[in-house]
Amino acid sequence: MSKIEIRSPLPGTFYRASAPDAPPFKGNGDDVTEAETIGVIEVMKTFQEVPAGVSGRAITFLVGNEEPVMAGQVIAEVEV
């Protein structure tokens, strides 16, 4: 099996859930489909969803919740 990287589309703060009291979109080890949201990135109070962009299994997050990210930074990997 190979791993596909999911990269941040823009710089900002990465959140794994839609709100502080909401469950995460996905957890480590979860299966994902191409259209599923894996997190959101906040830039100046504007939130952009981050789709998986690939279908696979066993997503592994490389960035923690509420961590700053740069454009192009790998935020997760998915086994395909």
Which residues are CB-contacts of 44 (< 8 A; sequence separation ≥ 6)? none
Average of pLDDT values for 47-74? Answer: 97
- Confidence (pLDDT) at 57: 93
User: CA 6 to CA 3: how far, in whole Å?
Assistant: 10
Q: Given this model, what pLDDT does residue 1 score?
A: 75
Mean pLDDT of 6-16: 97
Beta bridge partners of 48: 41
In order of their start, the domains of the chain are 3-79 (2.40.50.100)
> Other C-beta atoms within 10 Å of 44: how many?
5
First to last CA, the chain: 6
What whole-number distance in Å separates Cα of residue 64 and Cα of residue 61?
A: 7
pLDDT band at 55 (very low <50, low <70, confident <90, very high): very high
pLDDT of residue 17: 96
